[in-house]
Amino acid sequence: MTLRSLLSGLALAALALLPVRAQDAPRFAYFIPEQVVQSSVRAKQVFAELEVAQKNLSERVKVKAEELQKMEQQLKSPGLSDEGRARIQRDLQDGETSFKRLREDSEAEFRKVQEKCFGQFNQEVRPIIDALAKEQKLQAVMNFQAAGIVYAEDGWLVAFSTEVAKRYDAKYAAGAAPAEKAPAAAKPAAKPAKK
């Protein structure tokens, strides 16, 4: 058997596996995390910590950068003695070192908070995605990447993510979690009376 005949046989086998009817066509949806984050109250709550961390870390870096800028301006002062200039240059070098460390630490802290937020988001939203996919009898749910799509109808493209966002908010709405636990606690108390 030649390579050509083997490839021809594989191509024919693949054609035989193609769906014949529309109902046999693969069913899939796209999950667009950004859509959920922008439209879900709960997602915004989860990522609020990330925004606060970014703001705080940026502010610390900005304050340190302003301190260094003031030192650089002091070095340009014409009435500065040689001893004063040497002291400011040492302070500036130390400041630049601590500024670099501050930036690195801030980036590491931001990544840590980012991982925490994304981890929580994924952990909370994953069961909703799974349940919705089973309910809609989907064979696959793909993470959306705009670069990979040539054409898609807008409504269809965001429909799955919009529904995930609605269910996400419903699941984590104020009072929803205790209400879910209350019926479970009531079930053991509802035993039939002995005759």
Chain segment 34-77, per-residue pLDDT in tens: 999 999 999 999 999 999 999 999 999 999 999 999 988 888 88
Listed residue (129, 130, 120) closest to 166, CA to CA: 129
Q: Write the CB contacts of 73 (distance below 8 Å, at least 6 apart in sequence).
A: none
Q: What is the pTM of this model?
A: 0.65
Evaluate whether 36 touches 163 at the Cβ level (below 8 Å). no
Chain segment 106-134, per-residue pLDDT in tens: 999 999 999 999 999 999 999 999 999 99
Residues 120, 44: Cα–Cα separation, whole Å: 12
Chain segment 135-159, per-residue pLDDT in tens: 999 998 988 876 677 787 888 888 9
Q: What residues does each domain of the chain span?
A: 27-171
Chain segment 158-179, per-residue pLDDT in tens: 898 999 999 999 998 854 543 3
Nearest 5°: the CA angle 30, 39, 162 is 35
Q: Which CATH architecture has domain 27-171?
A: 2-Layer Sandwich (3.30)
DSSP, collapsed to helix, strand or coil, labels residue 29 as strand
* Residue 114 DSSP label: H
